[in-house]
């Protein structure tokens, strides 16, 4: 996407520079737009674990490129395969919920094992890293095309007055390589001239909505308003929301959606108010082996500091302040599971389907379990 007139992806290999993966460092946003160079697998692991990069597709692509650094490191050892497998496990341990991470690692492990000599393995992993990133961009672009119809339909019913869409967390281009998942239809509809307005849920504790989604939408000129997480239900009940679109970090083949904590409450409210609740995802976010989201998908528990402190700008300086009485215990589950029955539809790169096994497998017949 364009940032102040310049095209950016969230992660890339800078041309002409040796063994570097460059990322947009999301920690500084919206106050600072900066990139950081990662040179080792350990640095990539820190960047994923500590959320310098975050969001399912961005984690996936960073892991894909990280495996290229892993291949370069493994090529310096006496036993490529042992070292490469060990480095993949370093990356796998960083974040448990987004299935895209394992998807990218397993794809790279398979590619390397299929190539013969060490230099062929390194070259194959490099080209698949670029492929993973390019595929993510293409999938998100298609999600935008399919989701555009939802906006057209609602806009027509509303006689051209703005379509009000509510989103949660950041499933924007920063969470992918480009375009985003939940935001792809929004950007596409906005660019097609459909009047729309986005309610951006701030998304405590890390405020990805307030800090990242609002920044992205602002840079693209999309009308939006930031709200507290608790305001969503009220806006829905008072007729100020036409549809909800969120992203997801992992979705079962039966349609249960794991996404940033708070998504479930939005879905419950949307269901109560008869408001369509869509989830946008590339197919790399499906977990083709998980049937029951609540029982089978690990929910990451993050540091309590994310709840007890909040970061912001004060007199031009980025500071962290404490919010709680000293000694109050905190809990910080980072994701929740929205049952398929509360999801109106899934917007994928192949089209929109219902959130159930039959409809999902109709779009992805090659995934049918025998």
- Subset of 174-203 contacting ligand MRU (CB under 6 A): 175, 181
Does residue 208 belong to the site contacting ligand MRU (CB under 6 A)? yes
Does residue 101 belong to the site contacting ligand MRU (CB under 6 A)? no
Work out which of 9, 27, 54, 211 binds ligand MRU, going by CB under 6 A.
Answer: 54
Task: State the nearest-atom distance from the C-beta of 57 to ligand MRU, in Å.
Answer: 6
35 DSSP β-pair partners: 24
Q: Which stretch binds ligand MRU (CB under 6 A): 4-12, 54-62, 108-116, 357-365?
A: 54-62
Calpha distance 198→269 (Å, rounded): 17
Q: Is 249 a catalytic residue?
A: yes
Calpha distance 278→351 (Å, rounded): 12
With CB under 6 A, what is the number of residues at the site for ligand MRU? 16
**Binding track over 30-49 against ligand MRU, x by CB under 6 A:** --------------------
Residue 247, H or E segment: none
Q: Which stretch binds ligand MRU (CB under 6 A): 109-117, 121-129, 167-175, 194-202?
A: 167-175
Does residue 337 belong to the site contacting ligand MRU (CB under 6 A)? no
Calpha distance 293→254 (Å, rounded): 9
Does residue 169 belong to the site contacting ligand MRU (CB under 6 A)? yes
Calpha distance 129→124 (Å, rounded): 9
Does residue 283 belong to the site contacting ligand MRU (CB under 6 A)? no
Does residue 260 belong to the site contacting ligand MRU (CB under 6 A)? yes
Task: State the nearest-atom distance from the C-beta of 55 to ligand MRU, in Å.
Answer: 4
Query: Which of residues 150 and 171 has its CB atom nearest to ligand MRU in the complex?
Result: 171
Does residue 55 belong to the site contacting ligand MRU (CB under 6 A)? yes
Query: Which of residues 179 and 190 has its CB atom nearest to ligand MRU in the complex?
Result: 179
Calpha distance 79→349 (Å, rounded): 39
The Cα-based distances of 221 to 53, 168, 346 in angstroms read 24, 19, 26
279 DSSP β-pair partners: 246, 346
Structure tokens belonging to residue 318: 């980025």
Does residue 171 belong to the site contacting ligand MRU (CB under 6 A)? yes
Does residue 56 belong to the site contacting ligand MRU (CB under 6 A)? yes
Does residue 125 belong to the site contacting ligand MRU (CB under 6 A)? no
Work out which of 334, 337, 340, 347 binds ligand MRU, going by CB under 6 A.
Answer: 334
Q: Are 14 and 39 in contact (CB under 8 A)?
A: no
| Identified catalytic residue from 136, 229, 249, 336 | 249
Q: Are 165 and 198 in contact (CB under 8 A)?
A: yes
Closest CA to 9 of 49, 65, 48: 65
DSSP 8-state assignment for residue 254: T
Calpha distance 239→338 (Å, rounded): 23
244 DSSP β-pair partners: 166, 277
Task: State the nearest-atom distance from the C-beta of 294 to ligand MRU, in Å.
Answer: 16
Query: Which of residues 71 and 270 has its CB atom nearest to ligand MRU in the complex?
Result: 270
Query: Which of residues 59 and 275 has its CB atom nearest to ligand MRU in the complex?
Result: 59
Structure tokens belonging to residue 97: 């919920």
Q: Where are the alpha helices (DSSP H) in 227-301?
A: 232-237, 263-272, 293-296
Calpha distance 365→157 (Å, rounded): 34
Q: Which residues are at the interface with ligand MRU (CB under 6 A)?
A: 54-56, 169-171, 175, 181, 208, 246-249, 259-260, 334
Catalytic residues: 249
């Amino acid at each position: 996407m364009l940032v102040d007139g310049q095209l950016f992806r969230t992660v890339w290999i800078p041309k002409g520079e040796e063994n570097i993966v460059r990322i947009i460092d999301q920690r500084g946003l919206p106050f600072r737009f900066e990139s950081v160079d990662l040179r080792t697998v350990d640095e990539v692991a820190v960047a994923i674990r500590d959320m310098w990069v975050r969001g399912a597709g961005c984690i996936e692509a960073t892991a894909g490129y990280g495996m290229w650094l892993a291949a370069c490191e493994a090529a310096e050892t006496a036993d490529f395969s042992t070292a490469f497998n060990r480095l993949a496990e370093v990356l796998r341990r960083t974040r448990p919920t987004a299935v895209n991470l394992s998807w990218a690692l397993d794809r790279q492990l398979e590619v390397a094992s299929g190539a013969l000599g060490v230099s062929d393995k390194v070259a194959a992993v490099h080209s698949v890293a670029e492929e993973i990133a390019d595929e993510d961009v293409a999938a998100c672009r298609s999600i935008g095309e399919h989701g555009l119809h939802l906006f057209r339909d609602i806009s027509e019913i509303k006689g051209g007055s703005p379509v009000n869409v509510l989103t949660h967390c950041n499933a924007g281009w920063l969470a992918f390589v480009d375009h985003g998942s939940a935001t792809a239809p929004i950007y596409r509809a906005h660019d097609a001239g459909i009047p729309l307005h986005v309610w951006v849920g701030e998304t405590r504790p890390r405020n990805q909505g307030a800090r990242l989604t609002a920044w992205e939408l602002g840079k693209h000129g999309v009308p939006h308003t930031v709200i507290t997480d608790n305001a969503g239900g009220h806006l829905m009940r008072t007729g100020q929301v036409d549809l909800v679109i969120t992203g997801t970090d992992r979705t079962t083949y039966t349609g249960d959606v794991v996404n940033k904590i708070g998504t479930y409450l939005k879905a419950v409210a949307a269901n109560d108010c008869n408001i369509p609740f869509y989830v946008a995802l590339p197919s790399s976010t499906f977990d083709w082996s998980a049937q029951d989201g609540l029982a089978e998908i690990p929910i990451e528990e993050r540091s309590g500091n994310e709840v007890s402190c909040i970061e912001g700008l004060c007199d031009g300086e980025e500071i962290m302040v404490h919010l709680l009485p000293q000694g109050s215990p905190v809990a910080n589950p980072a994701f929740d599971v929205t049952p398929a029955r509360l999801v109106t539809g899934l917007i994928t790169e192949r089209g929109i389907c219902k959130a159930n096994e039959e409809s999902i497998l109709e779009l992805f017949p090659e995934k049918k379990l025998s």
